[in-house]
Amino acid sequence: MEVLNLGMVGGGTVGSGVFHALQQNGALLAARIGIRIHVRKVAVKSVEEPRPYPIPRRFLTTNWREVVEDPQVQLVTELVGGTTVAREVVETALRLGKPVITANKALLSAHGPALFAEAERHGTNLYFEASVCGGIPILKALREGFVGNRVTALYGIVNGTCNYILTRMTQERADFQTVLREAQQEGYAETPPDLDIDGHDAQHKTGILASLAHGHWIPADYIAVEGIRAITPLDLQFAAQLGYTIKLLGIVKQLKERARHQGEVPLQVSVYPALVPSDHVLARVQGVYNAVFVRGDVVGDTLFYGRGAGKDATASAVLSDLADAALDVRLGTRRRRPAFVKGPDAVRVVPLDDVVSRSFVRLSVIDQPGVLARIAAVFGRARIGIASVIQPEGHTGEVVPLILMLHEAPDGAVRKALDRIARLPVVKAPPVRFRVESLT
Amino acid sequence: MEVLNLGMVGGGTVGSGVFHALQQNGALLAARIGIRIHVRKVAVKSVEEPRPYPIPRRFLTTNWREVVEDPQVQLVTELVGGTTVAREVVETALRLGKPVITANKALLSAHGPALFAEAERHGTNLYFEASVCGGIPILKALREGFVGNRVTALYGIVNGTCNYILTRMTQERADFQTVLREAQQEGYAETPPDLDIDGHDAQHKTGILASLAHGHWIPADYIAVEGIRAITPLDLQFAAQLGYTIKLLGIVKQLKERARHQGEVPLQVSVYPALVPSDHVLARVQGVYNAVFVRGDVVGDTLFYGRGAGKDATASAVLSDLADAALDVRLGTRRRRPAFVKGPDAVRVVPLDDVVSRSFVRLSVIDQPGVLARIAAVFGRARIGIASVIQPEGHTGEVVPLILMLHEAPDGAVRKALDRIARLPVVKAPPVRFRVESLT
């Protein structure tokens, strides 16, 4: 059986997970693809650092160039993370014509197009299934499974930390800070947690999904992003009462069917917490799990669900890419499915202010007659319709929550109306607002 | 751009769906894979037959050999269904070295290994993503996405007709015959419905999934099958009360982790209606939708959801295979991922009688003192534990339902105990029994 030599850069959580999975299932993989993948060397930051799975000392080096530049090494994994050394590793390998497998969404988000161009120049390829939603083969599904589809809508729960926190807040009626602290202690959230909690990790992944789905690279700064810090148990409770669950969603949505034929696809690409109907499959995605709901113009509605992170789930995706890369190397088809293929349709990312959606609004108001009328007047002047109101009973003069469901309106108009409402004397805290995604 | 000529055999529901999808998205597909797929000819049973999407007269012929044997035709789709003409079509194309794309699960179930061998002999390949779960790219996920995983458990809702009927029975508390009749009128069930309702369609698909997951062809007659005819609204209602939903499942489960290392994987492969926890994602799969829950030893738990049938969803899968086949033809890598690859581990399908599971049992008994004791005695002698009992209040002498949840026990033992219970004078109808799958 043919053997291909793998050089690994990064032997931490994901790296050691890949090493372990290759030990455990390497023979199975070999039987399936007809190629044995042999780990030749693993570059690590420090030989002594603790890792979830052990890697024997003889494989280790602290010099990544020794791995990447080894003439015997035919495939390279970049599993160090970050955008500095990782970038150098990937570029060096690609310049040597070696296929690179990476799990690094931050690197792709920052330098994707440059790296894809580098791969093309040197007749090789970059594989990145593991960069989005860990074990869920979502990039393969988009690229290959739905190769005959236009993706008209995609909604992803792509950050396990946020989904874990929201699930626990919902189940335990606990507040954000308490659950975050516990999640950090349990290892479900990083310290500092900002990259996850503020939606930036989801933004990277949503950008990659949007780019693959539409064949145009969408830079992160085109993607409006809101995190989950503002969500309170009260919001989850009122949302539930109205038949909804709050999820942090990465959204890639074609806004008008028509415009496509005028040469340009208007796209919404954003990340924010949204209300989704509680009986929808997406709403049932709990804990650290990820899921991506994809609507194709031929296939209809689909959903892909699984673990989005962790050493093993991510290793599963790296092994899938390794198998593709190994077949491509052996068969001499390194550019069979290039890392990125430009699509035929032009796209335009529509500013979030122009995106139309329904809204859930929670205000903290003084409980006194006429409050609702004053608030309704602001929405009325902005031509924003109110669909329903929940006004829990309180005592006169107390600060109480007031929940409003708004009809469809442009995002900017809702934002401006809420700015005005925030300045009303009867409103005692900044308005909280989440968009409603009906997913139909 | 390179052009490949496609010869289509079958221009009915799926065939015309593929023709239409190629018209609609052919340019998109070409941009993505760098190859334009040109439909040269479509063989149909009758030129005049109605089809959901029109195919211009100039493409049509009633002679399939004219399509398959045309030297200009480089790829062939077989979308006629059945196992007679379809088999001839596939064999003829493969013998000419032409890759074949099929959606025909019945053909694969009956003649899979012979067709795979034929493809191998002639250095070509057979593609069949569309044969299982229509638009869900589940075969690609198993074969490529999870190439580095052993599949330890797989549970599939793989028959949309049954899932539609069970969903409506649950929502409307309507009986099986009524819902079936309406489903037939609406086009969600065939006339006669037996292939779906009695589980044989699910059996074909489950066999294909099991074979791909474990690398050994599992013939249909190894797969125990029960359909959904016995389910009543009462069962759905009591199941709900206990926290469960009833779904027709295709099950492929590795029974003991240990035995693998003794050279043989003991496998359960069966199709039957089962109780699944109502809060599990699988339980939320409603209507005509399909879903496959896959547990991999590296990736953990995953789920794939979408439309399992219909002209468009199936066309999406055919286009995915067409893209793979076109790339394989153009790059000269026709056996890149052979249709079927034998796995390294030996497998043994365990007879259902030896499979251990929990059970839900509904008896129709005379409401009189001592009935439960007599029934419990039978289970006691068979060493089957009773976990819980629901005994709705009735009037003495009336026939009332008695619901029992049984602890884990071998299937054969439960069957024999129920045979004995059926003969008790107080039991007035054949016992109804469904297995419980906790999915943990």
CA-CA distance, B210 to A237, in Å (whole number)? 43
In angstroms, the separation between the Cα of residue B272 and the nearest Cα of chain A is 23
Q: Does A106 touch chain B (CB under 8 A)?
A: no
**In a shared domain, residues B280 and B227:** yes
Q: Does A324 touch chain B (CB under 8 A)?
A: yes
Residue B245 lies in a domain: yes
Q: Establish, for the pair of chains A and B, how many residue pairs have beta carbons separated by less than 8 Å.
A: 216
Cα A198 to chain centroid distance, Å, stands at 12
Question: Strands (DSSP E) along B315-398, which ranges?
Answer: 346-349, 356-366, 386-390
pLDDT per residue over A62-109, tens digit each? 999 999 999 999 999 999 999 999 999 999 999 999 999 999 999 999
Q: Does A1 touch chain B (CB under 8 A)?
A: no
Q: Does B150 touch chain A (CB under 8 A)?
A: yes
Residue A336 lies in a domain: no
Provide the pLDDT for residue B259: 54
Query: Which of A285, A299, A341 lies at the smallest CB-CB distance from B313?
Result: A299
- Find residues 287-316 of chain A whose CB sits inside 8 Å of chain B: 289, 291, 296-307, 310, 312-313, 315-316
**In a shared domain, residues A79 and A37:** yes
Number of domains within chain B: 3
Residues of A in contact with B302 (CB under 8 A): 135-136, 304-307
Which residues 6+ apart lie within 8 Å of B381 measured at CB?
Answer: none
**In a shared domain, residues B21 and B56:** yes
pLDDT per residue over B99-127, tens digit each? 999 999 999 999 999 999 999 999 999 99
**In a shared domain, residues B261 and B162:** yes
Residues of B in contact with A145 (CB under 8 A): 129, 137, 140-141, 316-317, 320
**In a shared domain, residues B365 and B378:** yes
Closest CA to A273 of A383, A399, A117, A163: A163
Q: Does B112 touch chain A (CB under 8 A)?
A: no
Residue A293 lies in a domain: yes
pLDDT band at B31 (very low <50, low <70, confident <90, very high): very high
pLDDT, mean of residues B379-399: 91
Which residues 6+ apart lie within 8 Å of B419 measured at CB?
Answer: none
Count of CB atoms situated within 10 Å of the CB of B239: 24
Residue B225, pLDDT > 80, answer yes
pLDDT, mean of residues B259-274: 85
pLDDT per residue over B342-353, tens digit each? 998 899 999 999
**In a shared domain, residues B177 and B238:** yes
Provide the pLDDT for residue B386: 97
The verdict on whether A41 is a catalytic residue reads no
Q: CB–CB of B323 and A148 under 8 A?
A: yes
**In a shared domain, residues A293 and A326:** no
Provide the pLDDT for residue A41: 98
CA-CA distance, A289 to A303, in Å (whole number)? 13
pLDDT, mean of residues B322-342: 97
Residues of chain A whose pLDDT is less than 70?
A: 257-262
Q: Which residue of B has its CA nearest to A294?
A: B306
**In a shared domain, residues B176 and B259:** yes
pLDDT band at B396 (very low <50, low <70, confident <90, very high): confident
Provide the pLDDT for residue B75: 98
Residue A59 lies in a domain: yes
pLDDT band at B261 (very low <50, low <70, confident <90, very high): low
List the catalytic residue out of A98, A105, A205, A311.
A205
Closest CA to B278 of A7, A279, A270: A279
Q: The CATH number of the domain where B268 resides is what?
A: 3.30.360.10
0.90 surpassed by complex ipTM:
yes
As given in the structure block, the two tokens for residue A370 are 């006429």
CA-CA distance, B303 to B295, in Å (whole number)? 9
Q: Does A140 touch chain B (CB under 8 A)?
A: yes
Residues of A in contact with B285 (CB under 8 A): 281
Residue B262, pLDDT > 80, answer no
Residue B51 lies in a domain: yes
CA-CA distance, B107 to B112, in Å (whole number)? 7
Residue B338 lies in a domain: no
Closest CA to A103 of A133, A66, A123: A133
In angstroms, the separation between the Cα of residue A289 and the nearest Cα of chain B is 9
- Find residues 272-291 of chain A whose CB sits inside 8 Å of chain B: 279, 281, 284-285, 289, 291
Question: Strands (DSSP E) along A68-217, which ranges?
Answer: 75-78, 100-102, 126-127, 151-157
CA angle A202, A206, A210 (to 5 degrees): 175
Residue B63 lies in a domain: yes
CA-CA distance, A339 to A419, in Å (whole number)? 44
B192 preceded by cis ω (within 30°)? yes
Q: CB–CB of B341 and A148 under 8 A?
A: no
A160-174, B260-274, B287-301: least confidently modelled range:
B260-274
Proportion of chain B above pLDDT 90, given as a percent: 95
CA-CA distance, B82 to B104, in Å (whole number)? 7
Which residue stretches of B173-232 are H helix? 176-186, 194-197, 200-214
Provide the pLDDT for residue A371: 94
CA-CA distance, B321 to B139, in Å (whole number)? 11
Q: CB–CB of B135 and A300 under 8 A?
A: yes
Residues of A in contact with B129 (CB under 8 A): 145
**In a shared domain, residues A323 and A189:** no
Query: Which of A147, A149, A316 lies at the smallest CB-CB distance from B298?
Result: A316
Query: Which of B148, B317, B343 lies at the smallest CB-CB distance from A320?
Result: B148
Question: Strands (DSSP E) along A140-263, which ranges?
Answer: 151-157, 224-225, 244-254
Last residue of a domain, one of B274, B296, B331: B331
Query: First CA to last CA across chain A, in angstroms?
Result: 50
**In a shared domain, residues A259 and A276:** yes
Q: CB–CB of B146 and A140 under 8 A?
A: no
Provide the pLDDT for residue B256: 78
B52 preceded by cis ω (within 30°)? no
Mutation site for A-interface testing, chosen from B32, B35, B247, B330 by largest number of A Cβ within 10 Å: B32
Q: The CATH number of the domain where A375 resides is what?
A: 3.30.70.260
- Domain interval for residue B200: 138-308
CA-CA distance, B98 to A4, in Å (whole number)? 30
CA-CA distance, A379 to B80, in Å (whole number)? 58
Q: CB–CB of A323 and B32 under 8 A?
A: no
Residue A347 lies in a domain: no
List the catalytic residue out of B205, B247, B253, B311.
B205
Which residues 6+ apart lie within 8 Å of B41 measured at CB?
Answer: B7, B8, B59, B60, B61, B66, B67, B70, B73
Provide the pLDDT for residue A143: 97
Proportion of chain B above pLDDT 70, given as a percent: 99
Provide the pLDDT for residue A198: 98
**In a shared domain, residues B283 and B244:** yes
**In a shared domain, residues A255 and A369:** no
CA-CA distance, A293 to A167, in Å (whole number)? 18
Last residue of a domain, one of A331, A362, A388: A331
CA angle A303, A306, A311 (to 5 degrees): 150
Q: Does A29 touch chain B (CB under 8 A)?
A: yes
Closest CA to A277 of A71, A81, A432, A437: A437
In angstroms, the separation between the Cα of residue B269 and the nearest Cα of chain A is 21
Q: Does B136 touch chain A (CB under 8 A)?
A: yes
Q: CB–CB of A298 and B316 under 8 A?
A: yes
Q: Does B328 touch chain A (CB under 8 A)?
A: no
Q: CB–CB of A148 and B279 under 8 A?
A: no
Query: Which of A215, A305, A336 lies at the smallest CB-CB distance from B302?
Result: A305
pLDDT, mean of residues B176-192: 95
Q: The CATH number of the domain where A46 resides is what?
A: 3.40.50.720
